[in-house]
Structure 1
Amino acid sequence: MKIVKEALAGTLESSDLLVKVAPSPTDTLEVMVQSEVIRQFGEQINKVVRETLEKMGVTAGQILVDDKGALDCAIRARLQAAVLRGADCNKIEWSRLS
Structure 2
Amino acid sequence: MKISTTAQAGALESNDVLVTVMPNDQGGVQIQLETKRVIFKQFGKQIEEVVRGKVSEMDVDDVIIKVQDKGALNYTIRARVQTALERALASGTRD
Output the TM-score relative to the length of structure 1: 0.84
Equivalent in 31, 46, 49 of residue 48 of structure 2: 46
Q: CA deviation at 1:89?
A: 7.0
- SS across alignment from 2:90: coil
- Residue 7 (structure 1) aligns with: 7
Q: Which runs of 5+ in 2 are unaligned?
A: none
- SS across alignment from 1:88: helix
Q: How does 1:1-98 map to 2 (within 5 A)?
A: 1-36=1-36, 37-88=39-90
| Structure 1 residues 15-52: Cα deviation after superposition (integer angstroms, max 9, x where no partner) | 10000011112233222111221111112111101111
Are 2:19 and 2:68, in contact at CA under 8 Å, matched by a contact in 1? yes
- SS across alignment from 1:18: strand
- Residue 95 (structure 1) aligns with: none
Output the TM-score relative to the length of structure 2: 0.86
Amino acid across the alignment from 1:84: E
- SS across alignment from 1:87: helix
User: What is the root-mean-square deviation of aligned Cα atoms in Å?
Assistant: 1.6
Q: Which runs of 5+ in 1 are unaligned?
A: 91-98
Runs of 4+ in 1 over 6 A off after TM superposition: none
Are 1:20 and 1:82, in contact at CA under 8 Å, matched by a contact in 2? yes
